[in-house]
Amino acid sequence: AQITIHKDRKKAISPLLMGIFFEDINYAADGGLYAELIQNRDFEYTPADTKFRDYTWNSLKAWKSEGIEVTIDSISPIHENNLHYVTIKRNDELGKLVNEGFDGIPLKANEKYYFSLFAKTFEGATKLKISLVDTLGKVYTTKTINATSKNWKKYQTTLKVKESARYTQLVIEPMSNQKVGLDFISLFPAETFKQHKNGLRADLAQTIADINPKFVRFPGGCVAHGDGLDNIYRWKNTIGPLETRKPQRNIWNYHQSMGLGYFEYFQFCEDINATPLPVIAAGVPCQNSSTGGAGQQCGIPEEEMVAYIQDILDLIEWANGDKNSEWGSKRAAAGHPEPFNLKYLGIGNEDLITDVFEERFTQIFNAIQKAYPEIVVIGTVGPFYEGTDYDEGWELANKLEVPMVDEHYYVPLGWLIHNQDYYDAYDRNNAKVYLGEYASHLPGRPSNMETALSEALYLTAVERNGDVVKMTSYAPLLAKENHTQWKPDLIYFNNLEVKPTTDYYVQKLYGQNAGTIYYDTDVSIPFANEDITNRVGVSVVQDEESGDMIIKLVSMLPVPVTANLDHTQFVMNSNATLTVFAGAPDAIDVIPTTEDFKIGKEFEYTLPPYSFTVIRVQTQ
Ligand code: AHR
Quote the ligand 1 centre to 221 CA distance (angstroms): 5
Q: Where are the alpha helices (DSSP H) in 513-574?
A: 530-533
> What was the pLDDT predicted at 547?
93
Give 270: exposed, middle or buried? Use CB within 10 Å, 0-12, 13-18, 19+. middle
* pLDDT at residue 294 in the model: 60
Give, using CA atoms, the residue closest to atom 6 of ligand 1. 221
What is the residue type of 583? G
Distance CA 393, CA 523 (A): 35
* 495 has pLDDT over 90: yes
- For 570, counting Cβ atoms within 10 Å of its Cβ (0-12 exposed, 13-18 middle, 19+ buried), the class is middle
Report pLDDT digits (tens) over 268-323: 999 999 999 999 999 999 987 866 556 667 999 999 999 999 999 999 999 999 99
pLDDT at 293: 54
Percent of the chain with pLDDT over 90: 90
Pocket test for ligand 1, best of 21, 26, 350 (most atoms within 8 A of CB): 350
Q: Inform me whether the pLDDT recorded for 430 exceeds 90.
A: yes
Instruction: Report the phi/psi class of residue 393: left, alpha or beta, with left for phi > 0 and alpha for psi in -120 to 50.
Output: alpha
CB 569 within 8 A of CB 5: yes
By most ligand atoms within 8 Å of CB, the mutation choice from 251, 347, 349 for ligand 1 is: 349
Phi, psi torsion values for 527, nearest 5 degrees: 65, 15
| pLDDT surpasses 80 at 389 | no
Task: For each of the domains in the chain, give its residue range(s) and CATH number, in order of start.
Answer: 2-12+516-617 (2.60.40.1180), 20-32+199-512 (3.20.20.80), 47-189 (2.60.120.260)
Cis amide prior to 583 (ω within 30 degrees): no
Ligand 1: atom nearest CA of 437 is 1
Question: For residue 609, how far is its CA from the centre of ligand 1 (angstroms)?
Answer: 33
Q: How far is the CA of 113 from the centre of ligand 1 (A)?
A: 35
Alpha-carbon distances of 24 from 221, 249, 254, 411, 487, rounded to whole Å: 9, 11, 10, 22, 14
Asked if 251 contacts 231 with a C-beta cutoff of 8 angstroms, the reply is yes
Looking at residue 291, what is its pLDDT? 64
pLDDT in tens, 3-27: 999 999 999 999 999 999 999 999 9
What's 451-491 look like in SS3? HHHHHHHHHHHHHHCCCCEEEECCCCCEEECCCCCCCCCCE
| DSSP for residue 511 | H
Query: Nearest CA to 215 among 279, 148, 143, 159?
Result: 279
- Per-chain mean pLDDT for the chain: 95
Q: In whole angstroms, give the CA distance from residue 410 to residue 424.
A: 20
**Angle between the 355-371 and 302-320 helix axes, to the nearest 10 degrees?**
40
Cα 536 to Cα 460: distance, rounded to the nearest angstrom: 10
Question: How many angstroms separate the Cα of 349 from the Cα of each of 266, 422, 468, 475?
Answer: 20, 21, 20, 13
Q: How far is CA 251 from CA 220, 280, 341, in A?
A: 10, 15, 29
DSSP symbol at 192:
B
Model-wide pTM > 0.95: yes
Q: How far apart are CA 216 and CA 457, in angstroms?
A: 23
List pocket residues of ligand 1, CB cut-off 6 Å: 23, 25, 220-222, 349-350, 408, 437, 475-476, 486
Find, among 28, 42, 136, the residue nearest to 85 by Cα: 42
Q: How far does CA 318 lie from the centroid of its chain?
A: 21
Cα 536 to Cα 531: distance, rounded to the nearest angstrom? 10
CA of 256 to the centre of ligand 1 (A): 17
In total, the chain counts a number of residues equal to: 620
414 vs 441: CA distance, rounded Å: 9
Q: Whose CA is nearest to atom 5 of ligand 1?
A: 221
Residue 215 — φ and ψ, nearest 5°? Answer: -150, 160
* Residues 197, 210: Cα–Cα separation, whole Å: 22
Query: For residue 485, what is the enclosing H or E element?
Result: none
The gap from C-alpha 344 to its chain's centroid, in whole angstroms, comes to: 16
Q: How far apart are the first and last CA of the chain?
A: 28
| Ligand 1 atom 7, closest CA | 221
Atom of ligand 1 at shortest range from CA of 252:
6
DSSP-based three-state secondary structure for 47: helix
3-state secondary structure of 7: strand
* Cα 439 to middle of ligand 1, angstroms: 11
Taking the mean position of all CA atoms in its chain, how far away is CA 34?
Answer: 11
Count of alpha carbons within 13 angstroms of residue 599, beta-carbon side: 27
What does the pLDDT average to over 471-476? 98
Please list the active-site residues. Answer: 350
- pLDDT tens, 176-212? 999 999 999 999 999 999 999 999 999 999 999 999 9
| 361 burial level (CB within 10 Å; 0-12, 13-18, 19+) | buried
Name the closest-CA residue to atom 9, ligand 1.
Answer: 221
Phi-psi sector, 394: left (phi>0), alpha (psi -120 to 50), beta: alpha
- CB atoms < 10 A from the CB of 49, how many? 21
Q: Could you tell me the CA-to-CA distances from 277 to 8, 128, 338 in Å, in that order?
A: 34, 43, 18
The preferred substitution site among 437, 485, 503 for testing ligand 1, maximizing ligand atoms within 8 Å of CB, is: 437
532 with 561: CB under 8 angstroms?
Answer: no
The strand pairing partners of 147, in sequence order, are: 126
- Predicted ipTM? 0.99
Q: By the 8 A CB rule, do 439 and 488 touch?
A: yes
Query: From CA 249, how far away is CA 231, in angstroms rounded?
Result: 7
Could you give the CA distance from residue 192 to residue 334 in angstroms, rounded to a whole number? 18
Q: Measured between alpha carbons, how far is 484 from 481 in angstroms, rounded to an integer?
A: 6
The closest-lying atom of ligand 1 relative to the alpha carbon of residue 410 is 4
pLDDT higher than 80, residue 388: no
Backbone angles phi, psi at 365, to 5 degrees: -60, -45
pLDDT over 80 at 151, yes or no? yes
**pLDDT of 497 over the 80 cut:** yes
Specify the pLDDT at position 296: 66
CA of residue 207 to ligand 1 center, whole Å: 22
